[in-house]
Amino acid sequence: MSAVKFIGAMVFFCLGLWGILTWIDKQYMMEYFLGICTPLAVGVVTVLRAKAVLEKASETLTSFFIKSFFIKMVFYGAYIIILFNFYTFSHVPFILSFAGCFITLHVGEAFFFNSTLL
């Protein structure tokens, strides 16, 4: 599967998830959106950068993933702290949508990169 097709599948999944969650409970539409859009955006950037690193110098791919892991950890932490301190909203729908999308997209990325690298 190409990176563009995989990114399309990621976007399709996230939009579908947001649509289903919003259909179930419209009251938390923004919380669901904020919980889904950030893991999606970071996932898209990771896939595009990893594909570029793989094509340019595949021996540096491991160091790229290590660096991106720490960058994502700091980014997600700052994102959640900023949202919780400066935005008034219901935290539970945000955390559930964020965690669900985060885990699903990372598992999908692991399978994608496993199939791409082998």
C-alpha 33/C-alpha 15 separation (Å) is: 9
C-alpha 106/C-alpha 73 separation (Å) is: 13
Read off the pTM: 0.87
For the chain, 118 residues long, give each residue's pLDDT as a single digit of tens.
Answer: 788 899 999 999 999 999 999 999 999 999 999 999 999 999 999 999 998 988 888 788 889 999 999 999 999 999 999 999 988 888 899 999 999 999 999 999 999 988 887 6
